[in-house]
């Protein structure tokens, strides 16, 4: 079972974040909500960083982010070394992001994904397991790129 999940959204993803929290509650999964707490306009990088930092430090096993397209959150989260954030718009993409890319942060597109799909996507991502094998070698190459960039 999952130890702990960090979750956050910007204003565009606030309502969908609340839906995701209900899904996590139903699954018995613990989480910490890093905001935002309304639909008032905020800057998504601030929230992506909070979740990404927590995942990178190992305080959380996974992170869930929600914004309008998912893309901004994923870009910001991926700036934190050790984070592999993926945008998923359906169950298969979510599952593959975990199995093939060992994604530890999932970014969701509130404006483009129906609420019932968001629930299915989150469940599929949380249930998926890392495949290893040839995929492990590729994920390790991503880690190597991070190391080289930090040394540069």
Which range of residues forms the domain containing residue 33?
5-151
Catalytic residue among 2, 11, 100, 135: 100
Residue 2 annotated in active site:
no
For 117-133, write each residue's pLDDT tens digit: 999 999 999 999 988 77
CATH of the domain at 140: 3.40.1400.10
pLDDT tens across 58-87, in order? Answer: 999 999 999 999 999 999 999 999 999 999
The pLDDT of residue 138 is 78
Whole-model pTM: value is 0.92
Catalytic-residue membership of 67: yes
Alpha-carbon distance values, 3 to 29, 35, 36, 58 (Å): 8, 20, 22, 10
User: Which of 2, 11, 67, 135 is labelled catalytic?
Assistant: 67
Tokens of 47: 């929230």
* 14 touches 37 (CB < 8 A): yes
CA–CA dist 65, 48 (Å, integer): 7
Torsion of CA 107, 110, 112, 118, to 10 degrees: 70
- The domain tally of the chain equals 1
């Amino acid at each position: 079972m999952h130890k702990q999940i960090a979750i956050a959204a910007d204003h565009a993803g606030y309502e969908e974040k609340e839906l995701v929290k209900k899904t996590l509650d139903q699954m018995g999964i613990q989480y910490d909500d890093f905001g935002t707490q309304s639909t008032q306009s905020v800057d998504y990088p601030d929230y992506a960083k909070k979740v990404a930092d927590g995942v990178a430090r190992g305080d959380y096993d996974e992170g869930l982010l929600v914004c309008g397209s998912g893309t901004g959150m994923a870009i910001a989260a991926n700036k934190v070394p050790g984070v592999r954030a993926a945008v998923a718009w359906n169950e298969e993409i979510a599952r593959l992001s975990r199995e093939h890319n060992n994604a530890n942060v999932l970014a969701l597109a509130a404006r483009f994904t129906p609420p019932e799909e968001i629930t299915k996507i989150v469940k599929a991502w949380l249930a998926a397991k890392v495949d290893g094998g040839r995929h492990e070698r590729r994920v390790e190459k991503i880690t190597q790129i991070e190391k080289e960039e930090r040394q540069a």
